[in-house]
Amino acid sequence: MALNKSSASYIAGIIIIICLITPLLNNGSLPPSCMEKQWKFFYLSWMVCIPALCLGLTCAGREIKKRLPLFLTCGLLLAGAYEVTEGIRQLSGDTLSAHRLFAVTGTFYNPGPYSGYLAIVFPLCFFLLLKHKSISLYTKVFLWTGIILLLFMMLVSMSRSAWVATIISTIYVWMSCCKPMPRLLAYFRRNIKRNILIAAALIASSALLLVCLFLLKEDSAIGRILIWKISLSAILQAPFTGHGYQSFEYVYGAAQETYFSTVPHRSVEVWVADTPEYAFNEYLQLAVEWGIPALCLAVWGLVFSLRTWHRNGQYGLAGSIIAIAVFAFTSYPLRIPGLLSATLLLLIAGWVIAFSLSRKHSLIVIACVACTACGYCYREYRMAGRHEKSLYLWYDGHKSYMRGDAEKALRTYIPLYGDMQWNANYLLETGCCLQQAGRHYESLHLLLTAETLSSQVRILELIGAGYQSIGCYEKAEEYFVRSSRRVPSRITPYYLLACLYAHPENFHPQEALRMVREVLSRKPKVDSGVARSIQEEARKLSDVLKQTMKQNESDKQISE
């Protein structure tokens, strides 16, 4: 019987390790932001992990509880080693990163989540080094090598969120393992005046470090503060119920329009404003989509699991949870399959260790949870599989779209509508191609659907252009104005408004000239050939408008 219990626990452990590693597999030939393959691996691994964990709890409850910390530690260390290896290969040029703008991304599509994953692994290495002081020289060399490589790759990735998460989690592990507070207090009492000065210097140094981190990427920091400010206003609109699952993009876009049209704002906010996919703060995004009660429940679950690991002396795993919690303040770890998998396992394992139910009740609870979770994972796995196939087909058409061949792109896009109507980028590109083909009503249908899924300004501009093409000039003006308010730093909406007011059937020369002045007076956020071309076209339009106004004035005088 002991062998059976041991076997059940080890089977569960191996599957847990697999569950941590499989979501880190690459996306293949899909665009970097399309993580459907990783989501498919995520749901597949959890479909196997949940029954295995439930089997282990049913057959070997005590054994699995004892070994859960070991399994999690091994899984996270293996995943961390894999990510460090991938990062070194990318840095050396042996393989390409997943993003053309960044040299190092690991198996992720940008350096932010990559460094966040390394920040989760770092406290474990540090804890093992502090806890096992009598380990062999080879093990010490291995751990120190891991720590140095983790720090180096995090420095290379330039993620301030990961740096802060690493610092805070490391301090926690050190204080929990070494318990320095009694010695520090005794040392402090020996020379209070001198130590007050030292403490003040440390506080000042910490404040200076925070200022330096802010100034390192000032525009990025101000942009995130703006996102948080607007997200808070969106939360206040539906504080208890939230706006619904995956509603953040649409809700944020509308809230940003309101903010720039009604609320006093700084010019720097106009400059950094954009249409983000995420809130860069998991707590705010959770409250926007699900409401404040859901946020409170999630925080309680996080704190409960953290307390469980701390009470059991598993300071490394507790440090990993702290790293996730800190990283989530300025990033989006729950939107990445690999990070989400690590987070869920750390939390669930903490809950499993904490709760002790009778055999009868535990079987009922375990069976209900397992069936519900597996059913959900199976449904999402099948959906992710369909999405992956559709994305591969869409990407083929996307290449034609980028070459400007709208007709060829449409031949690929149109049959995919049933499986791709969840994807805002697909709807945008298809709507744009239909508009170029003169199929304006079909285009508007797709673009109006895309508007409910995304906050991209380009969608509003195309909707406005569609309404202008069918003669609905008031609706066109509405959408062009909305696009100018959503991201005020863009010059394209003002040029489109100028063209709308210059249209012979909607001729408002003074308004058109005012929009032209807006285009010419604004400095483009990205000094590209497109921006310069728009400004050049605006100058030509200005000359035409002035000539037309002179001609109209001359005709008026002649008639009088």
pLDDT in tens, 255-272: 998 888 887 777 777 888
Residue 32 has pLDDT above 60, yes or no: no
Whole-number pLDDT of residue 1: 41
Among residues of the chain, what percentage have pLDDT more than 70? 86
9-23, 38-52, 75-89, 503-517, range with the lowest pLDDT: 9-23
Whole-number pLDDT of residue 283: 94
Amino acid identity, position 270: V
Give Cα separations from 265 to 226, 233, 250, 372, 440 (angstroms).
10, 14, 21, 47, 37
Ramachandran angles phi, psi of 243, nearest 5°? -100, -5
Q: What angle do CA 444, 450, 451 make, to 5 degrees?
A: 90
Residue 158 has pLDDT above 60, yes or no: yes
Q: Is 308:351 a contact under the CB 8 Å cutoff?
A: yes
> pLDDT of 71-81, one tens digit each?
888 889 988 89
Contacting residues for 300 by C-beta, under 8 A, at least 6 apart: none
Q: Is 48:105 a contact under the CB 8 Å cutoff?
A: no
Average pLDDT value for residue range 52-68 = 72
- Give residue 554's pLDDT band: very low, low, confident or very high (50, 70, 90): low
CB atoms within 10 A of CB 551: 10
Q: How far apart are CA 198 and CA 546, in angstroms?
A: 70
Average pLDDT value for residue range 228-246 = 91
Burial 247-272 (b: 16+ CB within 10 A, else e): bbbbbbbbbbbbbbeeeeeeeebeeb
Is residue 516 exposed (0-12), middle (13-18) or buried (19+ Cβ within 10 Å)?
buried
Return the CATH fold of 403-489. 1.25.40
Residue 553 has pLDDT above 90, yes or no: no
> pLDDT of 275-333, one tens digit each?
888 899 999 999 999 999 999 999 999 999 999 999 988 899 999 999 999 999 989 99
343-347, 382-386, 546-550, range with the lowest pLDDT: 546-550
268 secondary structure, DSSP code: H
CA 449 to chain centre: 22
Q: How far apart are CA 292 and CA 235, in angstroms?
A: 8
Residue 181 has pLDDT above 80, yes or no: no
Higher pLDDT, 365 or 462: 462
CA 412 to chain centre: 29
pTM exceeds cut of 0.85? yes
- Mean pLDDT rounded to a whole number for the chain: 83
Q: What is the token pair recorded at 9?
A: 């626990």
**Residue range(s) occupied by CATH 1.25.40.10 in the chain:** 403-489
Residue 119 has pLDDT above 80, yes or no: yes
505 secondary structure, DSSP code: G
